[in-house]
Every structure is written in structure tokens, then in C-alpha cells.
Amino acid sequence: MTHLVHDRFGDILVPTESPEFDPLNWPKVGAYPLFPYHNRLVGAAFEHEGRRYEVPPHPALGSDAQHGPAHRRPWHLVLHEPDRIELALDYQADADWPFDFRAVQRFTLADDRLDVKLSLTNTGNGSMPGGFGWHPYFSAGLGNAVSCDALEIWPVSSMGIPSGAAPQTRDADKPFPGEGFTAFLSEWGSATATLDGGAEVTVTAGPQLPHIVVHRTPGYVCLEPVSHVAGVFGFPPEARASAGLFVLQPGEERSARLSVGINGSAA
């Protein structure tokens, strides 16, 4: 998604200035899908059912991969109507991800709301680990209020991602600081940010997206609903399922819904 514009509040997402950019370096604008995992894949490798798989590391992350390859591939149009659009990706196993899958994004516009449905289907012959999420860049500076009612926060390692330690209890009423940060949260119902144009956006999601990443810089706020905890492939095998990583059998599909509600007073 390159733009999301409201008739009263203007840009909801940081607008994309040009359709041309290096797919490995998404320009911190718009929004993109996270398939079949999100955040860092430490060491650009993981194990599944006793076998080790390696993928190319991200050039900016040294030895780690990041955010999966789906947003770096061409998607095709499945449905286009005045209030909705559906895009799909039929992914064939390659060096960036060793399993076949089909990913779908459906966007539906309603009054002051964007609804998003994500789905992931294993189209291969063997089982596949994975997850999904959505990565928006909302137009909000450091002085704008950001909050989330999440009841848990995950401790991070020296690499800045969850370490695999159990989540800690969090004060859901405590506001986030007016400075850059990244928080990995779970047990949440809604996350809210006041945008530069005066809108207040509230992100909600269904139970299939029990985790959320809140990431803030001087130029934007990311409220990223996700199915699993960042770094989960590096957790002990017995802890991965409880941290949201699922395993899809051949032909199995998982789907999730999220919404972005928009209200407030125009600047």
C-alpha cells in the first residue's frame, strides 16, 4: 500500500513519493504485508522438523534476515471493486524462503475505517512454519500521543528483539514516551496514535493477531499487528507455539483480520 488518504485528515500513512525503490529497502512509507514471518530471522537460518534451512541475510543487518520476502515479490490482482481490493501472491520456494505458499491481502474501505484481511496457505507438499502481520507507517511525530492497552511486554536481548524469556506484566494505562522506541507486546485489544493531520487512528485485530509491535521514530509510528513474537524462530522449540509460531500442513490455511479506525478533529 503506497497511500491511505482521508477526505478530512489527509495522509493517514506516510505517503510514498515514488513507486520505484529498492525492494530490500522499503522507504519507511505506506504499509506492507509480513509473510511468512516478521522482524529479524537471527542468523538468517532456522530449524524445522529436524532440518536446518538458510536464507540470504538482509544487506543492512549483517548476518540476519528480516520481514520475509513477500513484500519484495509481484502480487496479482484478484478483485477490484469501488470499496475493496484483493491481492494475492503465489510464492514458489526459492533461496529467500524454502516453502511454497499463497498469501492474500484484502482491503475494504468503510466509513472512517479500513478493514484488512490476511491469509496464508501452505501450497507445498510438506509442513511449513510461519506467520503473518501488517506493517503500516502512520504519519506521526514524536510529540504525538501513542498508546496501547497490551497487558504483556516481551523482554529483549542485546539485539533489540525478544530473547525467548517469558513476557512481563505491563501497565496498560501507561503512555509511551515521546522519543524513539520499539516495544514487543501481547494480550492487546487496541493501539492508538494521534497523527500530524489531527486524526486519531486506532488499530484493532482479531484473536489470530495476538501480538503487536509498536515502533516510533521522529517521522512515523508503526503499529504492527502480528501473529507471532519477533525472533520466535530462535526460541527453544517447545516455546515457539506459545509465542505464536504456527505450522501449516499441506493445503492448510490461516487467516486474520485487523482494522484501522479514523476519527478526531481536522487540523
d(CA 44, CA 233): 10
pLDDT at res. 59: 86
pLDDT in tens, 210-232: 999 999 999 999 999 999 999 99
Which pTM does this prediction carry? 0.95
Those residues whose C-beta lies under 8 Å from the C-beta of residue 264, and which sit 6 or more positions away, are: 9, 194, 195, 198, 199, 200
* Strand-pair category, 221-226 with 181-186: unpaired
What are the φ/ψ torsions at residue 72 (nearest 5 degrees)? -105, 15
Distances in Å between the alpha carbon of 60 and those of 26, 153, 182, 216? 12, 26, 18, 19
Quick one: pLDDT at residue 99? 98
Residue reference for cell 500513512: 13
Rounded to whole angstroms, the Cα distance separating 41 from 97 reads 12
Q: Which residue has the cell 499441506?
A: 250
Interatomic CA distance for residues 88 and 78, integer angstroms: 7
Decide: helix, strand or coil at residue 265: coil
Which whole number is the average pLDDT over 240-259? 97
pLDDT of residue 266 exceeding 70: no
Residue 175: the pLDDT is: 82
For residue range 165-206, what is the model confidence (pLDDT) as tens digits?
A: 999 999 998 888 888 999 999 999 999 999 998 999 999 999
- The three cell numbers of residue 231 are 525472533
Residue 25's pLDDT is what? 82
DSSP H or E stretch at residue 238: helix 237-240
Q: What is the pLDDT of residues 82-105, one digit of tens each?
A: 999 999 999 999 999 999 999 999
Mean per-residue pLDDT of the chain: 94
What pLDDT shows up at residue 76?
Answer: 98
CA gyration radius, the chain? 18
Domains of the chain in start order, with CATH, are 5-264 (2.70.98.10)
Closest CA to 228 of 2, 37, 71, 41: 37
The three three-digit cell numbers of residue 234, written as one number: 530462535
Residue spans of beta strands (DSSP E) within 51-143: 51-54, 65-66, 76-81, 84-91, 101-110, 113-122, 128-130, 133-136
pLDDT of residue 265: 66
Percent of the chain past pLDDT 70, that is, above it, reads: 99
User: What confidence score (pLDDT) does residue 267 get?
Assistant: 52
